[in-house]
């Protein structure tokens, strides 16, 4: 009797956190494997998350929220860097922030970031 190979499940991630990808043929399997999909037995070992004691939760939460705020500010900076000077001027005008007509894009960018 012929062995049925497809559909086949491949996995992305590690042994703790992973995502299953179903492939229907050899081409899909090759493409999935190019994107690091593996058989379940070949998943790398995941790192267990250390539990936090209840009395440490508020501090851990505050620390995580501060890190999220840092990352959001960093991402916002990248988003603003992609904008044209005219777009930055429009944001500043909307916020009623004064700027010079000959201010550089970097100056405008700093004004927008400071106004947030």
Residues 65-92 have pLDDT tens digits of 999 999 998 898 888 888 898 999 999 9
- The percent of the chain in helix, strand and coil, each rounded to the nearest 5, is 55, 10, 35
Percent of the chain whose predicted confidence (pLDDT) is above 70 = 97
pTM for this predicted structure = 0.42
Residues in the chain: 116
The pLDDT of residue 111 is above 60: yes
Query: Domains of the chain by range and CATH?
Result: 8-42 (no CATH), 70-115 (1.10.720)
Q: Which residue has the tokens 């500010």?
A: 73
| Residue partners of 93: CB distance under 8 A and separation at least 6 | none
The residue-averaged pLDDT of 49-66 equals 88
The pLDDT of residue 33 is above 60: yes
């Amino acid at each position: 009797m012929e062995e049925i190979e497809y559909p086949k499940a491949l996995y992305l991630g590690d042994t703790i956190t992973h995502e299953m990808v179903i492939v229907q043929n050899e081409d899909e399997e090759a493409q999935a494997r190019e994107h690091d999909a593996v058989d379940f037995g070949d998943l790398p070992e995941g790192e267990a998350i250390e539990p936090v004691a209840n009395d440490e939760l508020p501090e851990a939460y505050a620390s995580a929220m501060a890190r999220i705020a840092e990352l959001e500010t960093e991402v916002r900076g990248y988003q603003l860097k992609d904008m044209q000077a005219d777009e930055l001027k429009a944001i500043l005008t909307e916020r009623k922030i004064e700027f010079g007509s000959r201010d550089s894009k970097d100056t405008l960018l700093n004004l927008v970031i400071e106004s947030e």
